[in-house]
Chain A
Amino acid sequence: RKEVEQDPGPFNVPEGATVAFNCTYSNSASQSFFWYRQDCRKEPKLLMSVYSSGNEDGRFTAQLNRASQYISLLIRDSKLSDSATYLCVVTDSGGYQKVTFGTGTKLQVIP
Protein backbone atom coordinates (compact mmCIF):
# COMPACT_ATOMS: atom_id res chain seq x y z
CA ARG A 1 0.00 0.00 0.00
CA LYS A 2 1.32 3.45 -0.90
CA GLU A 3 2.15 5.73 2.00
CA VAL A 4 -0.12 8.49 0.77
CA GLU A 5 -2.66 7.74 -1.90
CA GLN A 6 -4.74 10.11 -4.00
CA ASP A 7 -6.96 9.75 -7.03
CA PRO A 8 -4.89 11.41 -9.76
CA GLY A 9 -7.97 12.67 -11.61
CA PRO A 10 -8.32 14.81 -13.58
CA PHE A 11 -11.46 16.22 -12.08
CA ASN A 12 -13.09 18.44 -14.69
CA VAL A 13 -15.74 20.62 -13.07
CA PRO A 14 -17.69 23.69 -14.20
CA GLU A 15 -17.16 27.04 -12.53
CA GLY A 16 -19.26 27.33 -9.40
CA ALA A 17 -19.31 23.61 -8.72
CA THR A 18 -18.36 21.95 -5.47
CA VAL A 19 -15.64 19.33 -5.67
CA ALA A 20 -14.13 17.04 -3.06
CA PHE A 21 -10.86 15.16 -2.95
CA ASN A 22 -9.85 12.38 -0.62
CA CYS A 23 -6.47 11.13 0.43
CA THR A 24 -5.61 8.01 2.40
CA TYR A 25 -2.45 7.42 4.38
CA SER A 26 -0.97 4.18 5.61
CA ASN A 27 1.02 5.20 8.70
CA SER A 28 -1.28 5.34 11.70
CA ALA A 29 1.45 7.23 13.62
CA SER A 30 1.20 10.19 11.25
CA GLN A 31 0.75 13.40 13.18
CA SER A 32 0.32 16.28 10.81
CA PHE A 33 -1.60 16.68 7.61
CA PHE A 34 -1.69 19.36 4.99
CA TRP A 35 -3.08 20.22 1.61
CA TYR A 36 -0.72 21.85 -0.82
CA ARG A 37 -1.43 23.24 -4.25
CA GLN A 38 0.93 22.91 -7.18
CA ASP A 39 0.55 24.73 -10.46
CA CYS A 40 2.10 23.20 -13.55
CA ARG A 41 5.92 23.14 -13.27
CA LYS A 42 5.86 25.35 -10.18
CA GLU A 43 6.74 24.77 -6.56
CA PRO A 44 4.16 23.41 -4.10
CA LYS A 45 2.44 26.03 -1.97
CA LEU A 46 0.67 25.47 1.31
CA LEU A 47 -3.09 25.64 0.96
CA MET A 48 -4.11 24.68 4.46
CA SER A 49 -3.28 22.54 7.44
CA VAL A 50 -5.74 19.84 8.41
CA TYR A 51 -6.73 19.73 12.06
CA SER A 52 -8.50 16.95 13.91
CA SER A 53 -11.53 19.14 14.40
CA GLY A 54 -11.61 20.06 10.73
CA ASN A 55 -10.99 23.54 9.45
CA GLU A 56 -12.32 25.96 6.93
CA ASP A 57 -10.67 28.77 5.02
CA GLY A 58 -13.09 30.62 2.81
CA ARG A 59 -14.27 28.25 0.10
CA PHE A 60 -11.97 25.47 1.28
CA THR A 61 -12.78 22.93 3.99
CA ALA A 62 -10.44 20.21 5.19
CA GLN A 63 -11.38 17.22 7.30
CA LEU A 64 -9.37 14.51 9.00
CA ASN A 65 -10.63 11.05 9.86
CA ARG A 66 -7.95 9.33 11.93
CA ALA A 67 -9.92 6.13 12.43
CA SER A 68 -10.17 5.56 8.68
CA GLN A 69 -6.86 7.27 7.95
CA TYR A 70 -8.03 9.70 5.36
CA ILE A 71 -8.20 13.41 4.86
CA SER A 72 -10.44 15.35 2.56
CA LEU A 73 -10.55 18.70 0.85
CA LEU A 74 -13.78 20.34 -0.25
CA ILE A 75 -13.76 23.29 -2.61
CA ARG A 76 -17.00 25.22 -2.94
CA ASP A 77 -17.92 27.63 -5.73
CA SER A 78 -14.95 26.60 -7.88
CA LYS A 79 -13.10 29.34 -9.72
CA LEU A 80 -11.01 29.05 -12.86
CA SER A 81 -8.01 29.97 -10.73
CA ASP A 82 -8.53 26.84 -8.63
CA SER A 83 -7.26 24.76 -11.55
CA ALA A 84 -4.13 23.07 -10.23
CA THR A 85 -2.90 19.83 -8.72
CA TYR A 86 -3.79 19.37 -5.06
CA LEU A 87 -1.22 17.50 -3.01
CA CYS A 88 -1.99 15.65 0.18
CA VAL A 89 0.96 15.85 2.56
CA VAL A 90 1.55 13.76 5.66
CA THR A 91 4.27 13.87 8.25
CA ASP A 92 4.96 12.04 11.47
CA SER A 93 7.03 14.81 12.96
CA GLY A 94 5.20 18.06 12.34
CA GLY A 95 7.23 18.44 9.19
CA TYR A 96 10.60 18.95 10.82
CA GLN A 97 11.92 15.87 9.13
CA LYS A 98 10.57 13.52 6.51
CA VAL A 99 7.45 14.66 4.74
CA THR A 100 5.47 12.41 2.41
CA PHE A 101 3.60 13.87 -0.52
CA GLY A 102 0.80 12.16 -2.37
CA THR A 103 0.91 12.05 -6.15
CA GLY A 104 -1.71 14.76 -6.32
CA THR A 105 -5.19 15.18 -7.74
CA LYS A 106 -5.51 17.35 -10.79
CA LEU A 107 -8.41 19.77 -10.90
CA GLN A 108 -9.51 21.55 -14.05
CA VAL A 109 -12.25 24.14 -13.62
CA ILE A 110 -14.04 24.75 -16.89
CA PRO A 111 -15.75 28.03 -17.85
Chain B
Amino acid sequence: EPEVTQTPSHQVTQMGQEVILRCVPISNHLYFYWYRQILGQKVEFLVSFYNNEISEKSEIFDDQFSVERPDGSNFTLKIRSTKLEDSAMYFCASSDRGLEGYTFGSGTRLTVV
Protein backbone atom coordinates (compact mmCIF):
# COMPACT_ATOMS: atom_id res chain seq x y z
CA GLU B 1 0.00 0.00 0.00
CA PRO B 2 1.41 3.44 -0.91
CA GLU B 3 2.73 5.45 2.01
CA VAL B 4 3.47 9.02 2.93
CA THR B 5 6.97 9.08 4.33
CA GLN B 6 8.13 11.65 6.85
CA THR B 7 11.66 12.31 8.04
CA PRO B 8 13.03 12.56 10.60
CA SER B 9 10.75 10.72 12.99
CA HIS B 10 12.03 12.81 15.87
CA GLN B 11 13.90 16.09 15.83
CA VAL B 12 15.25 18.01 18.77
CA THR B 13 16.22 21.60 18.17
CA GLN B 14 17.20 24.62 20.16
CA MET B 15 14.85 27.57 20.45
CA GLY B 16 15.51 30.08 17.70
CA GLN B 17 16.89 27.52 15.27
CA GLU B 18 15.44 26.79 11.86
CA VAL B 19 14.03 23.34 11.18
CA ILE B 20 12.90 21.66 8.00
CA LEU B 21 10.50 18.76 8.20
CA ARG B 22 10.39 16.56 5.15
CA CYS B 23 7.63 14.56 3.57
CA VAL B 24 7.40 12.39 0.49
CA PRO B 25 3.74 12.25 -0.53
CA ILE B 26 2.18 9.47 -2.54
CA SER B 27 3.34 9.91 -6.11
CA ASN B 28 0.05 10.44 -7.93
CA HIS B 29 -1.49 12.67 -5.28
CA LEU B 30 -2.07 16.32 -6.07
CA TYR B 31 -3.09 17.79 -2.70
CA PHE B 32 -0.67 18.14 0.15
CA TYR B 33 -1.14 19.18 3.76
CA TRP B 34 0.61 19.82 7.02
CA TYR B 35 -1.05 19.37 10.41
CA ARG B 36 0.29 19.56 13.89
CA GLN B 37 -0.75 17.97 17.16
CA ILE B 38 0.52 19.31 20.46
CA LEU B 39 0.73 16.49 23.00
CA GLY B 40 -2.69 15.78 24.47
CA GLN B 41 -4.44 18.20 22.13
CA LYS B 42 -6.33 18.00 18.87
CA VAL B 43 -4.95 17.71 15.38
CA GLU B 44 -4.74 21.22 13.90
CA PHE B 45 -4.69 22.19 10.26
CA LEU B 46 -1.70 24.26 9.21
CA VAL B 47 -1.70 24.52 5.44
CA SER B 48 -2.92 22.98 2.20
CA PHE B 49 -0.92 23.03 -1.02
CA TYR B 50 -2.07 22.42 -4.55
CA ASN B 51 -0.69 23.21 -7.98
CA ASN B 52 2.55 24.49 -6.45
CA GLU B 53 0.96 27.06 -4.24
CA ILE B 54 -0.71 27.40 -0.87
CA SER B 55 -4.46 27.01 -1.25
CA GLU B 56 -5.35 27.67 2.38
CA LYS B 57 -3.58 28.28 5.65
CA SER B 58 -4.64 28.60 9.25
CA GLU B 59 -3.91 31.38 11.70
CA ILE B 60 -1.20 29.17 13.19
CA PHE B 61 0.70 29.28 9.89
CA ASP B 62 2.31 32.68 10.36
CA ASP B 63 5.41 34.21 8.78
CA GLN B 64 7.64 31.78 10.68
CA PHE B 65 6.28 28.91 8.60
CA SER B 66 6.77 28.15 4.93
CA VAL B 67 6.18 25.19 2.65
CA GLU B 68 7.86 24.09 -0.53
CA ARG B 69 7.73 21.34 -3.06
CA PRO B 70 11.20 21.86 -4.46
CA ASP B 71 11.62 18.86 -6.73
CA GLY B 72 8.20 17.43 -7.47
CA SER B 73 8.50 14.70 -4.89
CA ASN B 74 9.46 16.17 -1.52
CA PHE B 75 7.09 18.46 0.38
CA THR B 76 8.75 20.40 3.16
CA LEU B 77 7.66 22.48 6.11
CA LYS B 78 10.15 25.04 7.37
CA ILE B 79 9.94 26.78 10.70
CA ARG B 80 12.31 29.72 10.60
CA SER B 81 12.91 30.46 14.26
CA THR B 82 11.48 27.79 16.49
CA LYS B 83 9.73 28.56 19.77
CA LEU B 84 9.09 26.26 22.70
CA GLU B 85 5.41 26.17 21.77
CA ASP B 86 6.26 24.72 18.35
CA SER B 87 6.96 21.43 20.10
CA ALA B 88 4.41 19.04 18.64
CA MET B 89 3.90 16.12 16.30
CA TYR B 90 3.78 17.34 12.71
CA PHE B 91 1.82 15.24 10.26
CA CYS B 92 2.07 15.49 6.53
CA ALA B 93 -0.82 14.21 4.42
CA SER B 94 -1.50 13.86 0.74
CA SER B 95 -4.67 13.13 -1.16
CA ASP B 96 -6.04 12.56 -4.61
CA ARG B 97 -9.65 13.32 -3.74
CA GLY B 98 -10.13 15.31 -0.58
CA LEU B 99 -10.43 13.83 2.87
CA GLU B 100 -11.63 10.43 1.75
CA GLY B 101 -8.39 10.00 -0.10
CA TYR B 102 -6.13 11.31 2.67
CA THR B 103 -3.09 9.36 3.66
CA PHE B 104 -1.22 10.67 6.68
CA GLY B 105 2.45 10.15 7.28
CA SER B 106 3.55 8.72 10.59
CA GLY B 107 4.64 12.15 11.77
CA THR B 108 7.73 13.99 12.94
CA ARG B 109 7.94 14.68 16.65
CA LEU B 110 9.55 18.09 17.04
CA THR B 111 10.95 18.99 20.44
CA VAL B 112 12.17 22.54 20.94
CA VAL B 113 14.43 23.00 23.95
Contact = CB atoms under 8 A, between A and B. Distances in A.
A41 B43 contact: no
Contact of A44 (B58, B100, B104): B104
A70 B98 CA distance: 21
Interface residues of B, number: 24
B104 A103 contact: no
A87 B42 CA distance: 9
A: contact size bracket: 20 to 34
Contacts of A87: 42-43
Contact of A100 (B31, B45, B48): B45
A99 B107 CA distance: 17
B95 interface: yes
B106 interface: yes
B17 to A, nearest CB: 24
A99 B46 CA distance: 10
Interface of A: 32, 34, 38, 41-46, 49, 87, 89, 91, 93-104
